[in-house]
Amino acid sequence: MRKFKEFIIEKFILICGLTSILFVALIFVFLLKEGLAVFNTTNPLAFLFGKSWYPVSEPPQLEILPLILGSLLVTLGATVISVPIGAACAIYIAEIAPIKTKEILKTGIELLAAIPSVVLGFIGMVTLVPWVKTIFVIPTGLTALSGSIILAFMAMPTIVSIAEDALYSVPKSYKEGALALGATHWQSIYRVIVPAASSGILAAVMLGIGRVIGETMAVMMITGNAAVIPHSFLQPVRTLTATIAAEMGEAVVGSEHYFALFAIGIVLFVLSFIINVTADLFLHKRNVQ
């Protein structure tokens, strides 16, 4: 009877796993069905590398390079801010903080991850945007820098949580051996523990980037939504996700604009897939080691 129960549970888990894969595949097929139709009237290279996004002009100009660069710029800024801070926080929590402090910090980080993005976007509009405008003496604070700061704040809980787990999973014998050989506590951290957990930390970074690149509401509220080629962090940009959210409700079903938004969804899907597969490869490498 026990073997029968185990068989049922194993098959149920297998069915759940296959179902999740099926759902992802169906989503991708749906995006392909709707998005590829735009290439009946638009050259794929022009769509990806053109500089003009004017979907309501006559004829429509459906070129998403400014949107791709806007997404990449905001993601790059968020990565530069969140990765050093997140890694440092993870090291502190895993190796330095007292037990009570560690519990408080971990709880606080988990609570930060639960804050809705629209709330963070509103806080950014009220506080961060005026601050950026005043500090840098620019016409508007709705810039890529503002979006990067908010997205970094959103990515840090993911980076800290996963990186801390990776550091904590390093065998204690590594640290004990380093200390026994005469290394200081800090030397054992950055020469032994961090290198041993490097693949897990890199996976945390990649998952944090995936969280950032798929964000919609916060960037739509505080980046200015200007579909132009960005040249610095101190100018408005528009991201791929914000474009879909802002324009899908106004696009005529079956129009070129409508199909172009689904094509943007395909680009986002591919980018997210690449990031998640990369993170999975890092995790697999860590598990093998």
Which CATH number goes with the domain that contains 9? Answer: 1.10.3720.10
User: What's the total number of domains in the chain?
Assistant: 1
Domain ranges, residue 178 = 3-288
Which of 268, 155, 280 minimizes the C-alpha distance to 209?
155
Helices assigned H by DSSP within 92-143: 99-113, 117-123, 129-136
pLDDT digits (tens, 9 = 90+) for 195-207: 888 888 888 888 8
* No. of helices (H) and no. of strands (E), the chain: 14, 2
* CA–CA dist 165, 201 (Å, integer): 9
pLDDT digits (tens, 9 = 90+) for 55-90: 888 888 888 999 999 999 999 999 999 999 999 999
- Mean pLDDT across the chain: 87
Q: Residue 52: exposed, middle, or buried by beta-carbon count in 10 A (0-12, 13-18, 19+)? A: middle
133 CB-side CA count, 13 A: 15
